[in-house]
Amino acid sequence: MDFSGIIERLDAEWDTNGFFDRVRNGSYDAKHAQDILKMLRAINISEDELLPKRLVALLWYLPSFLGWQAERVAEKCGDRSAYEMFVTEVHNTLEEVLGTP
């Protein structure tokens, strides 16, 4: 799989006004969150495929970062339950995409 497109899209979500930047500021958009999940679920990694370091950095950091923002999202928009479900879905999706030890 060519990972350059997914890396570009994830990087854009970290940039100013991207999804993760907005989450960092306490703004959670449930529709955009579904787009993020769709993007993550589209990643297809074969058993012996090597991953670019940048992709690994963008993916492994997501569950921790999103978990750290739960309080901020709850303070700003109040829908902590929906946000926490999203965080769980990201974690589960990454387990499916990357596997577990």
Residue pLDDT, tens place only, 35-80: 999 999 999 999 999 999 999 999 999 999 999 999 999 998 768 8
Rounded to an integer, what distance in angstroms lies between the CA atom of residue 9 and that of residue 47?
A: 23
- Predicted confidence at residue 27, as pLDDT, reads 93
26 closest CA partner among 63, 89, 64, 68: 68
**Dihedral over alpha carbons 79, 57, 18, 94 (to 10 degrees):** -40
Rounded to an integer, what distance in angstroms lies between the CA atom of residue 35 and that of residue 81?
A: 18
